[in-house]
């Protein structure tokens, strides 16, 4: 806060406000009378918490099924099995797939958090 003993501060206080030449209330109120009040619309996240949890569970299930059930998939030989075989082959055979899953789940959680943060920011703007 400024020092009240300050010379410049005193000058500003002594000079006061620079008022308009006329009272603007009537002009402003005439414009306000034809201006609608804007009500902020509530914004929901694109995907709700349930949808995100569902996606994560589904992804984990598909990946686990693909890795553990790759032997059965070879037997059926359909396009889904082919895709699962490809995923299984891409992952390292040394058992690091658990790290991949953890990373994937973490990424999805981060995305969900970002989505919610953006929605909250939009609401408060």
Contact residues: another protein, CB under 8 A: 1-2, 6-25, 27-29, 31-33, 35-40, 124-125
Q: How far is the CB of 80 from another protein (least distance, A)?
A: 50
- Which tokens hold the place of 111? 């995305």
Rank residues 12 and 65 by Cβ distance to another protein and give the closer one.
Answer: 12
Q: How far is the CB of 45 from another protein (least distance, A)?
A: 20
> Cβ closer to another protein: 25 or 94?
25
3-state secondary structure the chain: CCCCCCHHHHHHHHHCCCCCCCCCHHHHHHHHHCCCCCCCCCCCCCCCHHHHHHHHHHHHHHHHHHHHCHHHHHHHCCHHHHHHHHHHHHCCCCCCHHHHHHHHHHHHHHHHHHHHHHHHHHHHC
The smaller minimum CB distance to another protein, of residues 7 and 79, is found at 7
**CB-nearer residue toward another protein: 4 or 78:** 4
């Amino acid at each position: 806060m400024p020092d009240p003993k300050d010379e410049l501060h005193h000058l500003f206080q002594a000079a006061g406000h620079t008022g308009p030449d006329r009272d603007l209330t009537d002009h402003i109120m005439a414009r306000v009378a034809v201006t609608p009040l804007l009500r902020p619309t509530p914004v929901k996240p694109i995907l709700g918490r349930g949808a995100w949890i569902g996606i994560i569970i589904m992804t984990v299930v598909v990946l686990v099924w693909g890795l553990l059930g790759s032997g059965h998939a070879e037997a059926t030989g359909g396009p889904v099995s082919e895709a699962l075989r490809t995923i299984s082959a891409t992952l390292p055979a040394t058992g690091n797939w658990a790290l991949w899953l953890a990373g994937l789940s973490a990424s999805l959680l981060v995305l969900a958090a970002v989505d919610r943060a953006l929605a909250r920011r939009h609401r408060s703007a």
